[in-house]
Structure 1
């Protein structure tokens, strides 16, 4: 009997030591993972939401294969860390920050590990799942030497971990631009043509003609805005005038969509001075066009231009610099 008790005590001690060792290993692995995904930069999105961005040598999302670059470095992936807003649920958060959010909200549980959302805790989300405008702001913050140039977006290789494959995935639509591998090193600069750059990143400056102005709304997205004047109606003064559709049923749908987009209950109750926001992709070509390189942001230009008063515009403006020249309202990024 004594021998059995002695053996049981030894066995119990051995199992306890093994469990403690396993827990220590698991804890060390978790801490190492946390260290590896530490962010490199932070930014304020839409003048409201603090976010952080960085790079991780392994794909953060499950099921994504980690590729090796022709430079023999891991391609890895970018990520953004953000906090849910107070009392924001999974569905609302997904709609706000994820691509195709209404169908992707269950994926948030992968990123939270099944834990409830906490508005005080940062949530790490892989770059590729986020809406383009958040990706664009993360790019500006991660790569401070990038800027608008004549004919495209100039990218300067800033970090040792950058690879051609990663940048092609981040900046371009599939297969329409290739970074030159032979000259790919820190400090090298590449100009990505506008027709190769992903438009959803909203890095390209845009302009609209009077009486439209172009701004970002509270969500951080760019829209054209029209200020209602006495006697204006939504259908004739906005839909017919600025939107390219000619079929009556499409125009009626546009009017209904604008009511929802602007939080309006009745198209007949518009107030002079009120701003109506219009998706840029709806604007007729004669009112919307790309900004010539002469308007790109520079110290010289910024010191001379006159900024149009925005005191009556009830929307937050994020980073872009705006000016008006010859009836053109411009939103440009550095």
Structure 2
């Protein structure tokens, strides 16, 4: 279809930017996206087309079926020019699964989910409580399922009431809501009360049996993970509450936590930081990967083993981070080459080839170099980090020059953390939009000597670039967490996916994510070396192989494959490839 320049005309009376909605309730997700609910509880998403976006492209972006174009036109009567300052309406039933979820989360922010299903709180946004038929239609795809919803809730009457809780069983949910429910048990709302005393605003949380101040309060509610931060904040909270011994707090003790110490998601619903966080996440959720690639054909995978050279990374009890994550990277590369058609670009290589993966022993990574042109010997860890994202950006540039796209390119950086000993399991960092810069670059003799820096010395991001990166990276992270869960690998108990690092009073995104142009980019902390159980796992060849299987399975599922079938095939183990040193393609 034509673009704006081609003066595409369609029959649309769509809402102009200055128009007001006639619906009873409208939620603004972003300047380009609004969700409304009107008479009869009809939900409509209204969106502005992107610059130069034709109608066909618009329909593909918001629906899963290009044949819905005719019906979208019928919903937008009249003749108007499709342009970025005009909103196009799309009915809920035509939306893709992802945009249905965005619409529901925007209109019903108090809804929750757990391992049993979705919990909807009747809001009566139009002045009349939503019907069981509508609730069933929204969450199961078929209003006729209202009878099963009614039975599951033990309801005698069909009409609902404002603030009534209606549970939709997991088995009835459409895939997007079922996936959300299956992964949200750890983030279920906590029984907290809010108040104010002479020391300021606080949240009141009563310790449950088996909970400790360090984990249940500091790690879970404030988001702090590093030992020095956790210990310091636990001491502050203990002092505020008159607790003399943090190891002897009775069950049911009411702990007051300053609201300003809480992570945004645990703050009161009207807290500005929570509102900003939820709005940002909802906006980022517009962006998920919709590209399908059988056997990862046409997909480019940039694989980064953290640290190396003089930088061993975390080292606890004789277990070095750099050695073990390099071994995992070798296993990931071997599985990708043996079971998929993806192109693999390692950012670092050591002099010794990877081997066949059958040995428990992990080799020294001190000879590892960043594979820039010419290679960098990792004498300076900070420069080494910068060269990794320069290299990743160069790989993407080559992909695009050959007619490929950023949507078929993925970046994964592998690490093992050193946190408070009570923390264990996988964590995945994604590039939170608010922590990304608009432009950045390095210069000097060391940098200018590398081709990758000379061809793109500065990197810049539009706001849409930053939002897209957070959205698609979260989508990839969710697949990784799901694959770890399927294989029974340990996950962080409370929040395995994080938008930023919190340490020493600062919040930031790691540089390999912050300046990387590949939208789908994550940093994986496979475990916590300060936790004895995690450390014992990392030295196990079987664990490292499972981690590699999980990462490859997640990547396959991210591009439309089936996770369970892929994992099974890898468990059975096709004969691995040699895993020798590969050259970096130009």
Q: Could you say which TM-score interval applies, normalised by the shorter chain?
A: 0.5 to 0.7
Match of 2:87 in 1: 122
Deviation of 1:122 after TM superposition, in Å, equals 1.5
Q: 1:182 to 1:126 in 2, by over 3 A?
A: closer
Q: 2:288 aligns with which of 210, 220, 224?
A: 220
Q: Which residue of structure 1 aligns with residue 23 of structure 2?
A: 37
Looking at structure 2, the residues matched to 222 and 123 of structure 1 have their Cα atoms a distance apart, in angstroms, of 21
Question: Per-residue CA shift, 1:69-101, capped at 9, x if unaligned?
Answer: xxxxxx44111111111111001101111221x
Three-state SS of the structure 2 residue aligned to 1:228 is strand
Within the alignment, does 1:103 sit opposite 2:67 as a pair? yes
State the alpha-carbon separation in 2 of the partners of residues 272 and 279 from structure 1. 9
How far 1:130 moved relative to its partner? 1.0
- Give the match's secondary structure for 1:145: coil
Matched-pair contact (CA < 8 Å) for 2:410–2:519: no
Q: Does 1:312 align with 2:512?
A: yes
Aligned-pair distance for 1:185?
0.7
Q: Is the 8 A contact 1:80 1:126 kept in 2?
A: yes
Secondary structure of the structure 1 residue equivalent to 2:519: coil
C-alpha distance after superposition, 1:186-219 (max 9, x if no partner): 1111222322221134633549xxxxxxxx7873
* Residue in structure 1 matched with residue 149 of structure 2 by the alignment: 178
Structure 1, unmatched stretches of 5+, are 1-33, 58-74, 208-215, 242-250, 257-262
CA distance in 2, matches of 1:199, 1:272: 24
Q: What is the TM-score of this pair, normalised by structure 2?
A: 0.33
Structure 2 Cα separation of the partners of residues 272 and 122 of structure 1: 32
Which residue is 1:167 aligned to? 135
Change in CA separation of 1:151 and 1:43 when aligned onto 2, cut-off 3 Å: same
Cα deviation for residue 178 of structure 1 reads: 1.6
1:83 corresponds to: 48
Cα offset for 1:266? 9.2
Change (3 A) 1:97 1:229: same
Q: Can you list the C-alpha shifts for 1:288-316, whole angstroms capped at 9, x where unaligned? A: 54999x9577xxx99xx999955434438
Tell me, what secondary structure is at the counterpart of 1:122?
strand
* 1:135 alignment counterpart: 100
**Does residue 196 in structure 1 map to residue 182 in structure 2?**
no
CA contact under 8 A between 1:155 and 1:191: conserved in structure 2? yes
CA contact (8 A) 2:119 2:168 kept: yes
> What SS does structure 1 have at the residue aligned with 2:36?
strand
**What are structure 2's unaligned runs of at least 5 residues?**
1-19, 185-283, 292-298, 306-328, 344-398, 414-471, 528-533, 535-546, 555-586
| Residues 105/83 of structure 1: CA separation in 2 closer, same or farther (3 Å cut) | same
Task: Provide the rounded CA distance (Å) in 2 between the counterparts of 1:135 and 1:142.
Answer: 11
Q: Deviations over 1:150-208 (max 9, x none)?
A: 4222110011431111110001143554243457211111222322221134633549x
Asked whether the 8 Å contact 2:35–2:46 carries over to 1, the reply is: yes
Shift of residue 37, structure 1, vs aligned partner = 2.8
Residue equivalent to 1:15:
none
Match of 1:149 among 100, 114, 125: 114
Does structure 2 retain, via aligned residues, the 8 Å contact 1:99–1:131?
yes
- The equivalent of 1:12 in structure 2 is none
RMSD over aligned CA atoms reads 5.4
- Check whether the contact 2:120–2:167 (CA below 8 A) recurs between aligned residues: yes
Q: How many residues align structurally?
A: 242
Partner SS for 1:169? helix
- Taking the aligned partners of 1:237 and 1:308, their CA distance within structure 2 comes to 32
Identify which of 29, 33, 36 aligns with 1:54: 36
Aligned equivalents of 2:102, 2:140: Cα separation in 1: 16
Per-residue CA deviations over 1:225-247 (Å, capped at 9, x if unaligned) read 97514787998543756xxxxxx
What is the CA deviation profile of residues 228-274 of structure 1, one whole-angstrom value per residue up to 9, with x for unaligned ones? 14787998543756xxxxxxxxx55xx49xxxxxx67599xx99956
**TM-score, normalization by structure 1:** 0.53
